[in-house]
Amino acid sequence: MAAKPAKNRKKSSASANPMWGGHFARGPAQAMAAINPSIGFDKKLYAEDIAGSLAHAAMLVKQGILTREDGRAIEAGLKKIRKEIESGNFAFRESLEDIHMNIEARLRELIGDAAGRLHTARSRNDQVAVDFRLWVRSACDALDAKLRALQAALLAQAEAHAATIMPGFTHLQVAQPVTFGHHLMAYVEMFGRDRGRVVDARARMNECPLGAAALAGTSFPTDRRMTAKALGFDAPTRNSMDSVSDRDFALEFLSLASICAVHLSRLAEEMVIWTSAQFRFVRLSDGFTTGSSIMPQKRNPDAAELIRGKSGRVTGALVSLLTTMKGLPLTYSKDMQEDKEPVFDAAETLLLCVTAMTGMVEDMKANADAMRAAAETGYSTATDLADWLVRVCGIPFRDAHHITGQAVKKAEKKTCRLDELTLAELQAVDARITKDVFDVLSVEHSVKSRTSLGGTAPKRVREAIKAAKERWL
């Protein structure tokens, strides 16, 4: 049935929102009633909202703003509401807009007028700011734990394959031999930096906005340090207007989440490549692959592909919130209600992706023979020949580079590896080459020779694994 025109609606304070009905004569328009509520998603903040209210009530009692009797009633009521929500027995009402008003309304049903005194010296503006910070802070802790588990899985595989030879690529072309362990350690470093960004962001966001009230602070003699300490913050925020108006903590979380998602996507892409029939570097079990409805031979790396695809959701969340915040004047605007959904979705998506990647890394089986065979293609030891010419023959590197290029050309014509050329064929390119050159042309020697700090030599890889365990696990 179509809604009646606004002029025909009954003008009654009872139809207005109970939280501000004293000023409004009637309720919202139908479209407003549809666009305004946030309870559909911000009910996720129930635990944080109750924690903030408990801390605020305790502070009001200590400061003599609230009686001990009211404080005890509020505490008991809030704890009962928390149990109701966690047991699934709480009736969320869209008409009450958000999690704050839903909890406050239920509290009034339970304890009467004392519930209305809980909101003394605060506003929904600082209330949602503290709730959201608490939630994002917990998301940081969860992400750090998940990334630690992923690093542990990568380190275990790297340790098992510290000397397993594979081709290293540039432009997805065979470049130089490396070890599989060394390759995996690159991702250990990436995810380590991701964890560093999590720690940094968490430290910056760990200031409490509760008590900033609507935007200007309050005239009540509150103790913001007490509520900050009770909620595990390092200190209160320093400016009431900034406290309620900025979401840089959420933006920073989405930024670090986006970088982490990109790292996951790169590893996922390598999983897709490595599991292909053309590479066969690794094999994933049934647990992280799917079949085809028409091609019975297929084993599709869907988990990796989904991780690669979901990175777009995380980076999209960052762009969404940046766009929402970019033109807002101080202080709070209702636009900021749009801050939570992208953060909630990005956090949940990223945590799932890290979990799935950890499972794939733990699950994958390396095909050392296929990796070794691939490393011997593409003249991957050409640089070793050039380095030998510089080191042994004293030839300038640019000249050695040219000589090596001629040797590669000769091998291409013969369709053989560099180490399969005869000494005479190499000396026809440059007479200074001796039989000792064959000591450096194997992929094993190439890998073992890369002993510089951070290099792919197995002994360096094992040192890096040991150091990484001490640093991150």
Q: Residue 10 CA to chain centroid, in angstroms?
A: 50
Confidence of residue 4 (pLDDT cuts 50, 70, 90): very low
**Residues 6+ away with beta carbon under 8 Å from 193:** none
Amino acid present at 180: F
Q: What is the pTM of this model?
A: 0.90
Decide if 123 contacts 244 (C-beta within 8 A).
yes
Distance CA 131, CA 341 (A): 14
**Looking at residue 33, what is its pLDDT?**
81
Q: Residue 320 CA to chain centroid, in angstroms?
A: 16
Q: Where are the alpha helices (DSSP H) in 112-247?
A: 114-117, 124-160, 180-205, 224-230, 240-245
Q: Is the pLDDT of residue 177 over 60?
A: yes
Cα atoms found within 13 Å of the Cα of residue 189, Cβ hemisphere only: 9
Handedness of CA 257, 263, 269, 271 (dihedral sign): negative
Distance CA 94, CA 331 (A): 26
Give Cα separations from 356 to 33, 188, 245, 267, 429 (angstroms). 39, 16, 36, 12, 52
For 399-435, the pLDDT digits (tens) are 999 999 999 999 999 999 998 999 999 999 999 999 9
Q: Is the pLDDT of residue 14 over 50?
A: no
Characterize 380-406 residue by residue with b for buried, 16 or more Cβ atoms within 10 angstroms of its Cβ, and e for exposed: bbbbbbbbbbbeeeebeeeebbebbee
For 119-158, the pLDDT digits (tens) are 999 999 999 999 999 999 999 999 999 999 999 999 999 9
Distance CA 428, CA 430 (A): 6
Q: Is the pLDDT of residue 11 over 80?
A: no
Active site residues: 171, 292
Q: Is the pLDDT of residue 18 over 60?
A: no
**Looking at residue 3, what is its pLDDT?**
42
